[in-house]
Amino acid sequence: MEPDDIESGDAIIPGKPVTVDRYRKGARINHWVTATCLILLALSGLALFHPSLFFLTGLFGGGENTRAIHPWIGVILFFSFAGLFFRFWRANLPKPVDAEWLGRANDLLAGHEERMPEVGKYNAGQKFIFWGMTTLILILIVSGVLMWDEYFYQWTTIPQKRVAVLVHSLAAVVIICVWIIHVYAAIWVRGTIHAMTRGSVTGGWAWRHHRLWLRELAGRNRVKKPEAPAE
């Protein structure tokens, strides 16, 4: 049985430079569908959140269309993120090294990444994003269903709907903040976006940021022959 940090498709590819397969095509598509849904939900949700942002409904064909489309995008998000969850939950399980990583977070922010402990495929910050997204999306889908009067009006009373609206709004604000942190971190750590667009990282990137994961791949002989150049 593979270690939790090694997923199907993870492999070292010898060459100059050495590259490491990190995400398969299916995982990358799954990720970008989820990301697109989050952006659309943020825009449509903000448009419905406050009159000053109502102009955003123009992106969806007006207020009526925005109100109709928003919950359905939420349903797509839920099932898309479920795909990511079942792909990655094992690699995001907490480990003792995560506490040490968090304890040295100041070194990371100060640019002294060499002082950080070796981590597997995901560090404690990435795990926080994963489990935070998981929790918030569950809250959003449940509260969203409770306030989706077109189909579930009789499920709840008016006071319960008001609570659902409040919970939904608060969760939406938090998930937008978490998403911003996720995007900022992906831009800040050079090479991260390449992993989710092309599926691979350089050996140097893996050694610097996820050394334990790279060691596990090497120890398990997860080495793949490089593809022959096209003639």
Mean pLDDT score of the chain: 91
CA separation, residue 210 to residues 9, 65, 198, 216 (Å): 16, 44, 18, 10
Has residue 38 been placed in a domain? yes
Has residue 101 been placed in a domain? no
Per residue in 29-83, pLDDT (tens digit) is 999 999 999 999 999 999 999 899 999 999 999 999 999 999 999 999 999 999 9
What predicted TM-score, i.e. pTM, was given to this entire model? 0.90
Per residue in 178-197, pLDDT (tens digit) is 999 999 989 988 889 999 99
Domain count, the chain: 1
Has residue 33 been placed in a domain? yes
Range of the domain at 67: 26-88+123-198
Q: Is 182 a catalytic residue?
A: yes
Has residue 158 been placed in a domain? yes
Residue 91 contacts residue 120 (beta carbons within 8 Å): yes
Has residue 1 been placed in a domain? no
Q: What is the pLDDT of residue 5?
A: 80
Has residue 209 been placed in a domain? no
**CATH number of the domain bearing residue 162:** 1.20.950.20
Has residue 223 been placed in a domain? no
Q: What is the pLDDT of residue 108?
A: 81
Has residue 55 been placed in a domain? yes
Closest CA to 84 of 141, 143, 134, 139: 134
Query: Residue 1 pLDDT more than 50?
Result: no
From the list 31, 70, 168, 182, the catalytic residue is: 182
